[in-house]
Amino acid sequence: FAIGAFPVFQWKTDTNIYGFPIYGEVATKAAIDGSGAEVTATTRTFEPNHEREAQLEVWLTEHIPHFVGPKLYTKTCLYTMPPDRDFVLDSLPEHPNVFVAIGAGHAYKFASFLGRTLSELAIDGATPHDISHITLQRPAILTPETAVVEKYR
């Protein structure tokens, strides 16, 4: 379970589990995506959720038994998540020459796409990619209380 020997994995069900080797560490990260309590930067704690840890260990034991071993450490994550679970890539309405890419917790996996598309928008004013589903003008951003969104795609 190391870079070059074990791939990134994602299991998309009601429990969205993922993992990947950690560069420079002797460990692999495994986690449950997006199922934590809704918190803010001031209300969050850094305490691990032992129920979620146990749920993750049960899944790993069943699906990737050799993955389970001594736990080195547990960290909690804080990230933004729009109702449709998708990131934002757009210009600011008040400042059309300012472009933003906003995370949604998983944008790091798309860093090369986001960087390239941001540079195309900034330099050329357009991109050949269809980004209409990740703009600030979509229902999940404009009217999140009425947006119908899928939990997982």
Taking the C-alpha atoms of residue 77 and residue 4, their distance in angstroms, rounded to an integer, is 25
Phi, psi of 6, rounded to the nearest 5 degrees: -150, 130
Spans of the chain, pLDDT less than 50: 150-153
- The pLDDT value recorded for residue 79 is 77
Distant-in-sequence contacts of 146-153, Cβ < 8 A, 24+ apart: 147/83, 147/84, 149/83, 149/84, 149/85, 150/84, 151/85, 152/12, 152/13, 152/16, 152/85, 153/12, 153/85
- The pLDDT value recorded for residue 141 is 85
- The pLDDT value recorded for residue 1 is 61
Same domain for 108 and 62? no
- The pLDDT value recorded for residue 16 is 85
- The pLDDT value recorded for residue 152 is 40
Domain limits for position 17: 9-67
- The pLDDT value recorded for residue 153 is 41
Same domain for 96 and 52? no
Q: Please indicate, yes or no, if residue 72 is contained in any of the structural domains.
A: no
The number of folded domains in the chain is: 2
What's the pTM value of the predicted model, to 2 decimals?
A: 0.65
Return the amino acid letter for 73: Y
- The pLDDT value recorded for residue 58 is 93
Lookup: tokens for 64: 């990737």
Q: Please indicate, yes or no, if residue 138 is contained in any of the structural domains.
A: yes
Q: Please indicate, yes or no, if residue 15 is contained in any of the structural domains.
A: yes
- The pLDDT value recorded for residue 34 is 72
Overall size of the chain counted in residues: 153
- The pLDDT value recorded for residue 2 is 63
Kindly report, residue by residue over 115-124, the tens digit of the pLDDT: 999 999 999 9
Q: Please indicate, yes or no, if residue 153 is contained in any of the structural domains.
A: no
Taking the C-alpha atoms of residue 92 and residue 53, their distance in angstroms, rounded to an integer, is 39
Q: Please indicate, yes or no, if residue 4 is contained in any of the structural domains.
A: no
